[in-house]
Amino acid sequence: MGKTRDAIDPDTAAWIEAQHLFFVATAPSGADGHVNCSPKGGGALRVLDPNTVAYPDYTGSGAETIAHLRDNGRIVVMFCAFSGPPRILRLHGTGDAIPADHPDFAALVARLPPHPGTRAIIRVRVARVADSCGFGVPLYDHVGPRETLEEWSQNKGVHGLADYRNKKNAASIDGLPALDPAGE
């Protein structure tokens, strides 16, 4: 298998949007910083065009992806087929975090599933699409999404989420700036 291309074709776009799980990896510029890899629930990432994908970034315990994108913009998104034919797909590119006060936010968030914990939209400009075999990826059954984050976000409310972000998401674990406390 192992093929690469410079854009997402329609069949690949349909396969991407059918996945229940994907992973995002970023790293700071410095050699001493921590590499970050985060699992993300599927169903939220959208292929916007052959070279752009976006997904909502939810309020959480950290803001590594946002901090790393602000630092250098490098990102890879990886999907694995946990059912059906084996496949691993990586989208290499550069990304940015679009906060709620950004001019592009409203148009992007309208294309994504609503979620009360959305703090930003991660937009990735895809430069390289790479398939590999996935023969070593085990088969798993998808049971369903967890409701915990959505319930937690609803319980926090708008002001509680803003307070949480100001306290927990202003910087990465390496001290890089992440969310802007004034407006994110």
Looking at residue 149, which CATH number applies to its domain?
A: 2.30.110.10
Instruction: Output phi, psi for 109, to 5 deg.
Output: -65, -25
- pLDDT (0 to 100) of residue 1: 58
The per-residue pLDDT for 180 is 79
Q: Are 126 and 53 within 8 A, CB to CB?
A: yes
Domain containing 160 equals 4-168
The reported pLDDT for the residue numbered 181 is 62
Residue 173 lies in a domain: no
Q: Which two tokens stand for residue 60?
A: 């959480």
Domain-embedded: residue 182: no
Domain count, the chain: 1
Cα-based distances in Å from 101 to 46, 119, 147, 165: 21, 10, 27, 15
What is the per-residue pLDDT for 184? 44
Is 130 part of a structural domain of the chain? Answer: yes
- Indicate whether 138 belongs to any domain: yes
Whether residue 64 lies inside any domain: the answer is yes
Q: What is the mean pLDDT, run by run of 10 residues, along the chain of 184 residues?
A: 92 96 96 94 92 96 96 98 96 97 96 94 98 95 92 96 95 93 52
User: Given this model, what pLDDT does residue 136 score?
Assistant: 95
Residue written as tokens 């410079």?
Answer: 6
* Residue 32 buriedness (CB in 10 A; 0-12 / 13-18 / 19+): exposed
